[in-house]
Structure 1
């Protein structure tokens, strides 16, 4: 890809490959029972935390910080659990020593400090360049050796300009329906990446840039002109945060097969929308005070926008990535091809009213 962000893209793709290698090593160690307790820890929000989450966040922050020292960083994890849990810290140190290559960490305090350096920063329209990443999106499915992703985004003044998403278990040739257990039989996985205004691409996860040929993803969403062209991706009956009856009701209202692609992690959902395996998603939270988290969406959304998609919240508002680590300026998501977005949005509103959930539109 010829773009003003060529170096950023090269660094981000390379570190995403290393991060994916770390994730696979952690899974292999757990499979061999070489690191008892690896998957025991549970955060305050009840989502599991793994060795891979901490090791990858440290790797991404240090690598991108070395390459772009004037940039800021936002990541999901803080190092509090590591400092309190020696059983967890030891394998984090070990996998970084094994896999991080030229990226050096002095000791445990250095790793914890690097992780914490991106645990408090908040995005701001005047903050310049900020990298946002989710070291493991879909931790619950990662533990089950199902679909997960590593998400890397670059924001400038709160605007997505670059996305790199590594999907270690997703085939570069995956076709619908893609589900959490749609594991690439070749074991190669894929990387998807995009630069604003320069399109979205996919390539096998493994291999040096001169060894693999990236494929530009077609602007498939531009060709969807009728509700009959809509293909859904959702997370059906697995998360307590969403209103399943509304998600299903919208699909029925539009006569769209449901659930279609069915994935727990948000980043894999955006990824399959970029590939064309789906081109529509709706998410309504059960409570009006529930908000999305920036690392689950920043960058990954750009992949779908670069193939002709449009993304707003349930009220039709543009997603505001400057609102904070939680996207408190928006409620839920409605994503669809640009020419059909208004139809999907209207179906969301009609379904909320007909199902007695109109208070969620306030």
Structure 2
């Protein structure tokens, strides 16, 4: 299957949601609250989730959705609820045909809250299930770094469609990565990319737009004949990924370049288009489980761009179990030709601890 309609709806829904997140990105006060795990959530997270889930429900009413947020706190917080509703009402694409594809606006505050709460699926191995992270990299979003709006469709546990909206990445696929890209960013002219992939059909990038979809071009990972020249990406937050283990792996591989630290699935997007080469996210805890919405879109985009993504021990990431990757630990993403070499060193370093 080509999943043409699913891809179109996902791309337009993510593109429209980035308009909302960009509006919040420029505000000093982002309506931030804390969840039970102490991670931050903003009015942008809630608003983007409402818009995207509304579009999915209008087009694919029988599909399930695994979303990161829920509306429990909003039902008790009228000022925050009103802020989000105002944002949602203001956000639309400057293209009536594109808006029609998405199924029209949310009709009321209750409609908005119900849309947010429609992301409570438990996930699983059967049927069509969307994985949504309305703002991946919220800490990056808050500090003015990288973030991504992420949406993927899983069919019987296999990720088949993936879309990433990265408002602060350069449009130019050939723009090199350097250590400054993780902080002090903006979405000015020349920034803002929509990355997409369908399983078996390749990966693309295109500029984000306020209207319909712009022309796309295929992307691919960079051929890497000398692994010592690789650029590797990792998370900014030490709580998300073991910087020490990753430095040891880079050293064993002979990589001398400084790592590029950035938040969100912008890392997957950056290596998929050849701006970087490797993405390492190694476990910091024996009990931590990765969330499916933090990886699903990026995994299919990297895979379709010529890469391989496994966990830290070489196992395929299993999205069929539920809301987390409970059968996996960590992430290693690299071009197919060198993934086995990288994976071998990762296992050596982790096994020596």
- The TM-score normalised by the length of structure 1 is 0.88
Distance change (3 Å), C-alpha of 1:184 and 1:104: closer
> Which of 53, 56, 72 is matched with 1:61 structurally?
53
Distance 1:279 1:217 in 2: 13
Which runs of 5 or more structure 1 residues have no equivalent in the other structure? 358-362
Instruction: Answer whether contact 1:279 1:309 (CA < 8 A) is retained.
Output: no
Instruction: Report the counterpart of residue 80 of structure 1 in structure 2.
Output: 72
- Alignment of 1:227 with 2:227, yes or no, is yes
Distance change (3 Å), C-alpha of 1:219 and 1:337: closer
Once the 2 structures are TM-superposed, how far is the Cα of residue 228 of structure 1 from its aligned partner? 3.2
Task: Tell me how large the CA RMSD over aligned residues is.
Answer: 2.0
Once the 2 structures are TM-superposed, how far is the Cα of residue 109 of structure 1 from its aligned partner? 2.5
Instruction: Report the counterpart of residue 122 of structure 1 in structure 2.
Output: 122
Residues 19-63 of structure 1: CA distance to partner in whole angstroms, max 9, x if unpaired? 0111122234x24xxxx5x33311111111111111111111111
Instruction: Report the counterpart of residue 266 of structure 2 in structure 1.
Output: 268
Runs of 4+ in 1 over 2 A off after TM superposition: 100-110, 181-185, 207-210, 223-231, 257-261
Instruction: Answer whether contact 1:233 1:259 (CA < 8 A) is retained.
Output: no
- Alignment of 1:206 with 2:209, yes or no, is yes
Distance 1:8 1:138 in 2: 25
Instruction: Report the counterpart of residue 96 of structure 2 in structure 1.
Output: none
Instruction: Answer whether contact 1:219 1:306 (CA < 8 A) is retained.
Output: no
- Map 1:278-297; keep pairs closer than 5 Å: 278-297=276-295
Distance 1:188 1:279 in 2: 21
Distance 2:171 2:259 in 1: 19
Instruction: Answer whether contact 2:17 2:48 (CA < 8 A) is retained.
Output: yes
Instruction: Report the counterpart of residue 108 of structure 2 in structure 1.
Output: 107
Instruction: Answer whether contact 2:16 2:210 (CA < 8 A) is retained.
Output: no
Instruction: Report the counterpart of residue 330 of structure 2 in structure 1.
Output: 332
Once the 2 structures are TM-superposed, how far is the Cα of residue 107 of structure 1 from its aligned partner? 2.9
Instruction: Specify the SS of the correspondent of 2:40.
Output: coil
Instruction: Report the counterpart of residue 140 of structure 1 in structure 2.
Output: 139
Question: Which region of structure 1 is more displaced relative to structure 2, 106-115 or 311-320?
Answer: 106-115
Instruction: Report the counterpart of residue 166 of structure 2 in structure 1.
Output: 167
> How many corresponding residue pairs?
340
Residues 229-251 of structure 1: CA distance to partner in whole angstroms, max 9, x if unpaired? 53211125x33233221110000
Higher relative contact order (CA 8 A, sep 6+): 2
- Map 1:185-264; keep pairs closer than 5 Å: 185-186=188-189, 188-206=191-209, 208=211, 212-220=214-222, 223-228=223-228, 230-236=230-236, 238-264=237-263
Distance 2:59 2:292 in 1: 23
Distance 1:11 1:260 in 2: 35
Question: Which region of structure 1 is more displaced relative to structure 2, 9-18 or 195-204?
Answer: 9-18
Instruction: Specify the SS of the correspondent of 2:149.
Output: strand
Distance 2:215 2:277 in 1: 25
Instruction: Report the counterpart of residue 95 of structure 2 in structure 1.
Output: none
Instruction: Specify the SS of the correspondent of 2:249.
Output: helix
Once the 2 structures are TM-superposed, how far is the Cα of residue 213 of structure 1 from its aligned partner? 2.5
Instruction: Answer whether contact 1:188 1:206 (CA < 8 A) is retained.
Output: no
Instruction: Answer whether contact 2:145 2:262 (CA < 8 A) is retained.
Output: no
Instruction: Report the counterpart of residue 176 of structure 1 in structure 2.
Output: 177
Instruction: Specify the SS of the correspondent of 1:189.
Output: strand
Instruction: Report the counterpart of residue 360 of structure 1 in structure 2.
Output: none
